[in-house]
Amino acid sequence: MRMVGMSASPLFHSARTGSGGDEMFAPDGTVHPTYQALHDALSGLGTEEFRSRSDSLARSYLDQGITFDYAGEERPFPIDAIPRVVAAEEWTRVSAGVGQRVRALERFLDDLYNDQAAIADGVIPAELVTSSTYVVDAMRGYSPPNGVRIHISGIDLVRDGAGDFRVLEDNVRTPSGVSYVLSNRRAMAQGFPELFADRPVRRVGEYPGRLLSALQAAAPDTAGEETTVVVLTPGRYNSAYFEHSLLARTMGVDLVEASDLVERGERIYMRTTAGLRRVDVIYKRTDDDFLDPEVFRPDSALGVPGLVRAILAGNVVVANAIGNGIGDDKLTYTYVPDLIRYYLSEEPILPNVDTWRLEEPDSLAEVLDRLDELVVKPVDGSGGKGIVIGPAASRKELEALRERLIADPRGWIAQPVVQLSTIPTLVEEGPEPRHVDLRPFALNSGDDVWVLPGGLTRVALPRGEMIVNSSRGGGSKDTWVLAPERDAAAGPAAQAQAQAQEDEGIEDPMDDSYDEFEDPREEQAEERAPEPDPVTSAIPIIDVEETPHDAQ
């Protein structure tokens, strides 16, 4: 069997392992239809050509400074040159499911900071809120001008044993990684332009324009004046600084640090070379705790004193809203399917991963009993911090964990080990299956939740590793969402679909404007004002009298 594999496709010979859960190869070694075109195109390149182009991708990331901060050192973010492909029909479901989740979480946060009806109606226990360190008392009673608190979200998905997407966690505070979606696509289009020829891949480049629109839509009333949006970064030593800078640059707005901002009379201003200038919307990429020392940490020199007062006075909007942490608390996560039913009267489109709440005594007992086969996560952790994977942990680690769980059951949840799907990924010996997850990004403008067709596929590079975070040696893959087939059979449904796909941008690496992140097209259409009367046509460029009359 290996011989057959080798002669047919030397590039992928060690990627066909015959095990289940691979997105490119079925257990019998055949290629899944979604990946067929990509597989053939990559195989056609040959191992040597593929590897040399992969190396140039890494080199170009270093040159461009596409890095993340690892232990005080700038490292190139590893990009794997074998893309992930998601079929059009499956994406429709993902997109709807992510949008549904964001809408439910919006309702939940609004409810929680105001009426708390979900508690009164018994959908969630009061302890969920009273025991959370993420509820910010100062924000009680606050409602943002356009009602949006989750302007930007990233919902992490994994495939379960049956190959279906499930939600692993929600990120509604400061989800990061979208810059890699944009950079990966650009790098792939430059390094492997011919791969895009076979299948229509949906574009991701309109994200910055959409983000700016969503942020502008969130602005307080500026009495007709132009809205000023800024991105707030903790500074260039932050691990996601590259992303902060890219987003500011591609939106064309200022990237500020807290020390650039100042509060005067419950308004926020930035310090410019011409004095103070009012700021209306702040896309914050810092933790809540370091935003305003008046409210959070009086001992902290970081932050903008008075920022929260300015927000409550309705003069500035911070995105995402302060206090969203309760929305992606991992204990809240366990209630999200109920919240969807309660607020939206819909059935959840994307299921959760089965989860035990350890504060329930029966669950705690069961989890303690099966600690060596479960994954245990702290409710407030991010970036893979604090996660203990039972089967991989030592006896000593499990003992220590047991004590921590008993001492603080509210602080932990447990899940069965999800066998994440794999995708062939280039490692030292050639492409081998490696585990992946997916983070789609959603933008809420108030009128609509838009899900970026793509998202960040993170891949765990060490063999067998299940945690995909870059802080744990994770890399990423370009994620291709295929556009629906154009030559579908005629019929009312197909026509509707064809209409819908008019609105979907298709990736074209040969397009001249490729290097720019484009604006959303509907906005361009809106801004096209009627042409003024062509007065200049009355003034000829060349005076008729002076034109030569050679022809006569």
Partner 1 sequence: MMLSRIADAMFWIGRYVERADQTARILDVKLQSITEDTPEDFAEACRDVYQIFGVEQTDESDHSVQRVLDRLLTDRANPSSVAGALFTARENARGVREVLSTEVWESLNTTTLGLPRGVRPSRMHGAFQFAKDRCAVVNGLVDASMTRDEAWLFLRIGQLLERVDMLARNLQDHDLEDSSSAATVTLLRSCSAHEAYIRSYRGRVRSARSIEFLLLDSIFPRSAVHCLGEIDEALETLAKLHGNSFDRLGAAEPARRIVGRALASLRFRSLDDIVENFDEEMEQLQMVTGAVTRALGTTYFHPAH
Binding site for partner 1 (CB under 8 A): 62-65, 235-236, 241, 245-246, 248-249, 253-257, 259-260, 262, 270-277
Q: In the bound complex, what is the minimum distance in angstroms from residue 257's beta carbon to partner 1?
A: 7
The first and second tokens of residue 143, run together, are 């409602």
Q: In this complex, which beta carbon is closest to partner 1, that of residue 44 or of residue 65?
A: 65
How far lies 340's CA from each of 92, 98, 140, 333, in Å? 18, 11, 22, 11
Q: How far apart are CA 247 and CA 174, in angstroms?
A: 13
Q: In the bound complex, what is the minimum distance in angstroms from residue 67's beta carbon to partner 1?
A: 10
Q: What is the DSSP string of 67-117?
A: EEEETTEEEEPPEEEEEEEE-HHHHHHHHHHHHHHHHHHHHHHHHHHTT-H
| Nearest alpha carbon to residue 207 among 511, 451, 515, 475 | 451
Q: In the bound complex, what is the minimum distance in angstroms from residue 483's beta carbon to partner 1?
A: 29
| Nearest alpha carbon to residue 199 among 410, 42, 28, 379 | 42
User: SS3 of 430, please?
Assistant: strand
Q: In the bound complex, what is the minimum distance in angstroms from residue 412's beta carbon to partner 1?
A: 39
Q: In this complex, which beta carbon is closest to partner 1, that of residue 263 or of residue 437?
A: 263
Q: In this complex, which beta carbon is closest to partner 1, that of residue 238 or of residue 382?
A: 238
Q: In the bound complex, what is the minimum distance in angstroms from residue 552's beta carbon to partner 1?
A: 47
Q: In this complex, which beta carbon is closest to partner 1, that of residue 257 or of residue 380?
A: 257
The first and second tokens of residue 284, run together, are 């914050």
Q: In this complex, which beta carbon is closest to partner 1, that of residue 234 or of residue 431?
A: 234
Q: In the bound complex, what is the minimum distance in angstroms from residue 247's beta carbon to partner 1?
A: 9
Q: How far apart are CA 316 and CA 293, in angstroms?
A: 17
Q: In this complex, which beta carbon is closest to partner 1, that of residue 249 or of residue 463?
A: 249
* Cβ atoms of 437 and 38 closer than 8 Å: no
Q: How far apart are CA 190 and CA 184, in angstroms?
A: 10
Q: In the bound complex, what is the minimum distance in angstroms from residue 73's beta carbon to partner 1?
A: 14
Q: In this complex, which beta carbon is closest to partner 1, that of residue 193 or of residue 235?
A: 235
* Cβ atoms of 280 and 316 closer than 8 Å: yes
Q: In the bound complex, what is the minimum distance in angstroms from residue 208's beta carbon to partner 1?
A: 12
Q: In this complex, which beta carbon is closest to partner 1, that of residue 338 or of residue 518?
A: 518
Q: In this complex, which beta carbon is closest to partner 1, that of residue 257 or of residue 519?
A: 257
What are the E-state strand segments in 440-536?
441-444, 449-451, 456-460, 474-481
Angle at 439 between CA 436 and CA 443, to 5 degrees: 170
Tokens 């046509």 belong to which residue?
A: 537
Q: In the bound complex, what is the minimum distance in angstroms from residue 294's beta carbon to partner 1?
A: 19
Q: In the bound complex, what is the minimum distance in angstroms from residue 207's beta carbon to partner 1?
A: 16
Peptide bond into 320 cis (omega under 30): yes
Q: In this complex, which beta carbon is closest to partner 1, that of residue 242 or of residue 296?
A: 242
3-state secondary structure 231-256: EECCCCCCCCHHHHHHHHHHHCCEEE
Kind of pairing, strands 79-86 and 474-481? parallel
